[in-house]
Amino acid sequence: MNFEEHAAKPLLQAAGIAIPRGCLARSVAEAQAAATALGVPVVVKAQVPAGKRSKAGGILAADGPAAAGKAANAILGMEIAGHRVEAVLVEERATIAAEYYAAVVNDAASKGPLVMASSEGGMDIEEIAASKPDRLRRALVDILQGFDLEAARAMIDGLGLGSDEAPVAETLVALYRAYRDNDGELLEVNPLARLGDGRLVALDCKFALDDSGIQRRQELSSGGSPETLTTLETRGKALGLRYIELDGDIGVLGNGAGLTMTTMDVIAHRGGRPANFLEIGGDAYTKARPALELVLDNPKVKCLLVNFCGAFARTDVMTGGLIDAWEALSPTLPIYFSVHGTGSAEAQAMLRQRLGVSPYKTMDGAIVAAIAAAREAGGPS
Amino acid sequence: MIVRDADRVLVQGITGKQGTYWTERMQAYGTRVVAGVNPKKAGTEHCGVPVCASAGEAMRETGFDVSVLFIPPLGVKAAARDAIEAGCGRLVILTEHVPVQDVMELLAMARANGAIVVGPNTAGLVTPGECFVGFMPAFESDVFRPGRVGVISRSGSLGALICLNLVQAGFGQSAFIGIGGDPIVGTTTRDALQELDADESTDAVVIVGEIGGTMEEDAAEYACTMSKPVVAFIAGRASPPGKKMGHAGAIVMGDKGTYASKRTALEAAGIEVLDTPSELGRALHAALG
């Protein structure tokens, strides 16, 4: 779960890292009021959970309240990387003497936290790594030992930070603490700036909360940016189902992420177009009925493909729930089944007895039949 | 991480609904379940084995070689610590949605104590004809049959489909290693590939990967050094970028973790990457000559 800048910065502040004075504004009037209250030249920054805001024109300088209002007027409602700007952060503007980079991230390769620091802030980490690799330092952290001042000093030694060396090292330690205290997946400060007035301040901040950490960070997660979802996707989420809407015409219902992705892949490989991704694996395997309703409520769906290969998810339970729903909803669409794995003998017998259909012997057989049915129904396939 | 019928298995969380259901299935298949853990029901018996207060107690009472965890996400770190401190050498963590920082901590504890972790978010391990640990349909004879093909999978359901296709094509499995669908797992594709390479009862390996991360690319590097044939299927070719596809590990960010990157790396290692799992029989027959 990604956090917008205004929601991420308080995490730094709580860990003792200075941030600029600022105020969130959702309208031109609020932006003007914020600039008035700050009483200094400001910068008006679009709040979206995406990078490259400056290049998109989403960050503007303003010398007073009137200019801040004008900037907010230009930015609010703008679309940046698919996100509509609903709010701006109005912050004090200061002269910058030096820009650094600092981040902590979950590193899959080392299976532990990775701290990164550079004397070259203000550009993307990818850019720093490509253009000035010798200015980028990486420290793998033993999560059981933690990351202390000594480790921070060692990693930035030789970067030429001069008198900023000690405060930057302290910032890195504080950043690591904030990352640990908040189930971070990524916590990045870029730039970490030495201002003309001498303060070391986090001018921008990105935070991604580990989705599996949300269950113990309820309060924190309320500050995160929800994913942009369609109406059906929102309904799926509320039901605890992972439903992703696509633009094809074959409704897909599978169990497990890997199998459901594969179902979509093979539909595409054989020339068809999936209408959705929907899996009822894991603990969701008892939710066949709401899942079926979700797939059928997409008006583009011309036929339905059910692909179960039970491991943890029992196909007898899933199929039973599906048949109950099918009987209750009595849809007129053709439906094709491939059912194997845990509980499949019972599931296949149920399908024959209650729906009068025989599941296909292979997934590919069911997919080929579904593609033909979608074509016949005049879909875009 | 291949399980054998001699392995003594501890079930942490044995008394829960899923713990009970799958313990009975494992026992019926021949897995040597020796004890379970639930501190609240210590001293009782469940599924015909003693329930202990901790893995430590189970180690003293019955001893065990492998522990399998049917534990809710926020309890996994403590349960894993219990098993590791008890001297458990192999842990199979089935739980999905374990916070990643907890995973990193428990993997560090395991490393420090010389223990191997499979998972989290794995469907488990199967050695057809011997035993299984976790929740794979080892007992479905159209899916699992003793044979000489090793299978490595990030996904349980897709792994089962691949095994089904193997059996339909006349093959069986030497071992199924479910490595798990999380972004950070204890046993990687490469680790499992190395194990199957060294396994005398394995003639060929099927890698079942998916988009996200770089485990397949890393495994391809090792595969270059192997003489045993390897074929692969990678799920997620038709998935939209930037979306998490059910598994926490299955997400494409920028140009990292893409289908194309994985396919290119595997093909460069001489591995055929299948367009659909139904090509598996043909590809393996060709690869095995």
Do A348 and A270 share a structural domain? yes
Q: Using an 8 Å Cβ cutoff, are A244 and A220 in contact?
A: no
For B136, which residue in chain A has the nearest alpha carbon?
A311
- Of A206, A227, A248, the residue at which a domain comes to its end is A227
Q: What is the pLDDT of residues A232-265, one digit of tens each?
A: 999 999 998 989 999 999 999 999 999 999 999 9
Q: Which chain B residues are closer than 8 Å to A312 by Cβ?
A: 18, 94, 123, 135, 156
**SS3 breakdown of chain A: % helix, strand, coil, rounded to 5?**
40, 25, 35
With respect to residue A157, please indicate whether it lies within any of the assigned structural domains. yes
**pLDDT tens digits, A184-242:** 999 999 999 999 999 999 999 999 999 999 999 999 999 999 888 899 999 999 998 98
The domain that holds A125 is classified in CATH as 3.30.470.20
| CA A255/CA A284 separation, integer angstroms | 9
A180 — phi, psi (to 5°)? Answer: -70, -40
- Among A175, A210, A227, give the residue marking a domain's end: A227
Task: Choose, out of B69, B157, B168, the residue to mutate when testing the contact with A (most A CBs < 10 Å).
Answer: B157
Q: How far is B237 from chain A (nearest CA, A)?
A: 6
Give the closest-approach CA distance of B42 to chain A in angstroms. 26
- Structural domain for A324, as ranges: 231-376
To which H or E segment does residue B211 belong?
A: none
Instruction: Report A:42-101 residues touching B (Cβ under 8 A).
Output: none
Q: Are residues A156 and A205 in the same domain?
A: yes
Say whether both A12 and A77 belong to one domain.
Answer: no
Distances (CA, A) of B176 to A285, A363, B188, B189, B201: 23, 21, 14, 12, 12
| Residues of B annotated as catalytic (active site), given as ranges | 247
Distance from CA of A141 to the nearest CA of B (A): 11
Backbone angles phi, psi at A332, to 5 degrees: -105, 0
Nearest to A282 by CA among B230, B246, B182: B246
Mark yes or no for CB contact B184/A213 under 8 Å: no
Domains, chain B, with CATH or none? 8-118 (3.40.50.720), 140-288 (3.40.50.261)
**C-alpha A381: how far from its chain's center?**
30
Contacts of A313 in chain B (CB under 8 A): 157
Q: Say if the Cβ atoms of A341 and B164 lie within 8 Å.
A: yes
A110 and A149 inside one domain = yes
Chain B neighbors of A311, CB-CB under 8 A: 123, 135-137, 156-157, 159-160
Question: How many C-alpha atoms does B56 have within 13 Å on its Cβ side?
Answer: 6
Each residue's pLDDT, cut to its tens digit, for chain B (289 residues) gives 999 999 999 999 999 999 999 999 999 999 999 999 999 999 999 999 999 999 999 999 999 999 999 999 999 999 999 999 999 999 999 999 999 999 999 999 999 999 999 999 999 999 999 999 999 999 999 999 999 999 999 999 999 999 999 999 999 999 999 999 999 999 999 999 999 999 999 999 999 999 999 999 999 999 999 999 999 999 999 998 877 777 777 766 666 789 999 999 999 999 999 999 999 999 999 999 8
User: Looking at residue A199, what DSSP letter applies?
Assistant: -
Q: Which of A65, A93, A121 is the last residue of a domain?
A: A93
The full DSSP string for B88-121 is -SEEEE--S---HHHHHHHHHHHHHHT-EEE-SS
The reply to whether A381 falls in a domain is no
What counts of helices (H) and strands (E) characterise chain A? 13, 18
Q: Which two tokens stand for residue A323?
A: 């048949």
Contact state of B101 with A210 under an 8 Å Cβ cutoff: yes
Asked, as a colleague might, if the bond just before A359 is cis with ω within 30 of 0, I would say: no
Between B263 and A280, whose confidence is greater? B263
Written as six digits, the tokens of B283 are 């590809």
